[in-house]
Structure 1
Amino acid sequence: MRCWIELNAAALKHNVEVFRKLAGSALMVPVIKSNAYGHGLKEIHDILAPLQPEWLGVNYLSEAESLRKLGYQNRILVVGPIHPKSCPDAFRLQADIFLGEETTLQEWIATPAEQKPRAHLKIDTGMSRQGFLPEQAASLISRLEAHKDKLVGICSHFSNVEDVLEQTYANQQIDAFTSVVHQFRSAGFQLLSHIAASSSALIMQSSRFDLVRVGISIYGLWPSRATQLSFLQSHGRLVELEPVLRWKTEVAIVKGVHAGQFIGYGCTYKALRDMTIAVLPIGYYEGYPRLASNRGHVLIRGQRCPIVGRICMNMMMVDISHVSEVKPGEIVTLIGSDGSEQIEAGHIGEWADTIHYEIVTQLNPAIPRRVSAS
């Protein structure tokens, strides 16, 4: 591929330390699921290894297996639903799993002790995705009494923290979760409790129970503008999160376009003047969203160069009429800084009517990742 991703190791370590401090007495769990939010599972693991993280979070057992093959020996939290018959595999990998629905719970209970993995009971406090309802707590306590040694955690997930400034719904979820935790502990269960992810860890001190699961923000990305504003309102300043990822390509072709000519599929862009365009060897296969066609820009020599025409599977065109004597092979910044200009993943998300989570996680895993110290 004629594009590459640069990963700033110092930025990642800085962000981890920010959240370790925010977590206080709680343990911080870096979540590196979905190819480390598109950054690269192996590369992010290797950067984190010297920090000796006590936990890492993934979504699939296959990701847990990859971590074991990379040499990671501490706790792995699998936050996604596993196949009910996969309990022995989770035990083999010494991975903690979520029990979030009846079939998996039954299989886990029936699994012999010598193959039963550690588990965290998921409580649905208002997300309506994974988890048992709070009113099922008494029944669950009775069913799980004989498995106290392998039930090590109880957890939930927020539905609506990063989209709002007022946390009424989140506080209701905390109240429901706290009530269930109290019931289990009163029944003699010794469980790690956790509900916080990036946004709640940043702005809701009451959400930081025993573990704090931090995903998007260890990569230097605020969960949302609302989260930034909430943090600023409560603290008077922002913590500095440093973006870890830079995405670059190079100019493949430079060509002239006459006034009146159309550019790209569908004839969606018509040159109103003579133009010079650069063809970049990158498109939606590599992870650049087609919806950003005719809306976004890239950086060349520190100048914004608008995207013209539809983004193709493996190519896109940009207007370089205002940048003199651009040559094939010149560096193009897709995400990152060039001179005084900067493009964030969130900017591309806005151009594509989506969120920055989607932009980074859809970066093609085959794109080479290069780790730099800074």
Structure 2
Amino acid sequence: MALSRGHDPEGSSRVGLSLGIDLFFQAMNPSNQGEDPTRYGRAWVEINPAALQTNLDAVRDSVGPDVRVVPMVKADAYGLGVEQAVAILEGSAPSAYGVATVDEGVQLLALGIERPVMVYSPVPPGQVRQGVEQGLVLSVSSAAEAEAVGRAASGPAAPVQVEIDTGMGRAGLPAHEVGTWWPALRDDPRLSVVGVWTHLHSADEADLASGRAQIALFEEACGRLDGLDPGALIHVANSAGSLRLACSGANAVRPGYFLYGGHVGEGTPPPEAVVSLRARVALVREVAEGTTLGYGATYRAGGTERWASVAIGYGDGLPWALGNRGRALVRGRSVPIIGRISMDSTVVDVSDLDALAAGEAVTFIGSDGGAHIALDEVARVAGTIGYEILTGLSPRLPRVWDPLP
């Protein structure tokens, strides 16, 4: 079975969204409607679609024109908004899209996506039939999963991808037992194997030895898949693997985090910043020496200070761990976050700024003037990963997509 949803996946077809791309971004950005963008809520996420496209182009430049690209748009396109992200990614004619769950796949189909939609996480038994009936490409990593998909395939053979475990450990058929499981999958008339893949566990680490070992194991396993459809997707590389490791036996990559502005390891090109996180100053107050701040009173004014209470907190996805550790930008200058971050507010010390007023913008991720706070800096200071920062941005933050240039 060819990998398609009724057309050539490398063709020029486009998603059937109800809004054209230009009209869509006019609708998403209030500045395009004559409204002052400073009025866009108490806190918000700004997204640069041109940067998203630039990062995808960087992946294509790295892997070459003959390698197919499957952008990962799981978790609502890493928190940015899948409908908007796909409207941009469609311009590069990806071979397919990757998601984690059946529900995410169904959401893509509802947007009018015609390219194959690949579901990468194991599917609970109760959703297998829905996935098959919707035409999603489910991953199988056990005989039981393959049988469940086969039972649900009442019409044409169900398209599946085979996950091979080369060291990630959480799912996948054993790479060293290809002869045990492959004949049954290949010969099952209810199934059509349209892809084979594995996942690198340390492609973003400084030492790439384990990644190379995984690739060698995967290539050896793929060499034993006699009868595999020559059009099948064969892929190993996530964002880091796409930019740092070569797999001669692969014909596709599936970038994710890098597309959305995340740095993925030494020696990789710096991503264009896609996401900015901003909020408004709610009030400014002068405090005397000794004034305590926030839950636990973990900060005490060392003298007369000026504090700005900013309308964003951990309820919006700003990490609690940034309290007394992180920083923000105001008028292009770096200011410290003081005290613990509350659910709905954060305080910064603006003693060195004159005449700061309520309503001014504060940047927690992104650029202000010549200053910049990178997504991965925030993650490092908070003791987490940028993936968690992006996907943890609360739904109560509007996503404001900048207009395309």
Is this a same-fold pair by TM over 0.5?
A: yes
Deviations 1:51-78 (A, max 9, x none): 3333111111111111112121111111
1:6 matched to 2:52: no
1:329 matched to 2:367: no
Aligned to 1:357, what secondary structure does the other structure show? helix
In structure 1, the partner of 2:195 is 153
Query: Pick from 205, 210, 215: which aligns with 1:163?
Result: 205
Q: 1:145 to 1:58 in 2, by over 3 A?
A: closer
The Cα shift of 1:274 comes to 0.8
* Unpaired runs of at least 5, structure 1: 232-238
Whether contact under 8 Å (1:121, 1:151) holds in the other structure is: yes
The Cα shift of 1:142 comes to 2.4
The Cα shift of 1:303 comes to 0.8
The Cα shift of 1:208 comes to 7.2
TM-score (norm 1): 0.92
The Cα shift of 1:49 comes to 3.0
Equivalent-residue separation in structure 2 for 1:323 and 1:11 (angstroms): 31
The Cα shift of 1:2 comes to 1.1
Query: Pick from 62, 80, 83: which aligns with 2:124?
Result: 83
Aligned to 1:150, what secondary structure does the other structure show? strand
Q: 1:286 to 1:208 in 2, by over 3 A?
A: farther
* Unpaired runs of at least 5, structure 2: 1-40
Equivalent-residue separation in structure 2 for 1:116 and 1:265 (angstroms): 59
Q: 1:270 to 1:159 in 2, by over 3 A?
A: same
Moved more, 308-317 or 68-77: 68-77
Letter in 2 for 1:274: T
Whether contact under 8 Å (2:106, 2:134) holds in the other structure is: yes
Deviations 1:143-163 (A, max 9, x none): 113237611111100111212
The Cα shift of 1:355 comes to 1.4
In structure 2, the partner of 1:109 is 150
The Cα shift of 1:189 comes to 4.8
Letter in 1 for 2:203: V
1:305 matched to 2:335: yes
Aligned to 2:258, what secondary structure does the other structure show? helix
Q: 1:299 to 1:70 in 2, by over 3 A?
A: same
Q: 1:215 to 1:46 in 2, by over 3 A?
A: same
Equivalent-residue separation in structure 1 for 2:212 and 2:398 (angstroms): 42
1:270 matched to 2:300: yes
Query: Pick from 116, 133, 152: which aligns with 2:174?
Result: 133
Deviations 1:61-112 (A, max 9, x none): 1111111121211111111111134333123332111112343222123333
Aligned to 2:70, what secondary structure does the other structure show? strand
TM-score (norm 2): 0.85
Aligned to 2:223, what secondary structure does the other structure show? helix
How does 1:1-374 map onto structure 2 within 5 Å? 2-24=42-64, 25-114=66-155, 116-147=157-188, 150-164=192-206, 166-184=207-225, 186-190=226-230, 191-206=232-247, 209-223=250-264, 227-228=265-266, 230-231=267-268, 239=269, 241-372=271-402, 373=404
Whether contact under 8 Å (1:87, 1:116) holds in the other structure is: no
The Cα shift of 1:301 comes to 0.4
Q: 1:208 to 1:366 in 2, by over 3 A?
A: farther
In structure 2, the partner of 1:234 is none
Whether contact under 8 Å (1:29, 1:53) holds in the other structure is: yes
Whether contact under 8 Å (1:195, 1:207) holds in the other structure is: no
Whether contact under 8 Å (1:97, 1:118) holds in the other structure is: yes
RMSD after superposition: 1.8
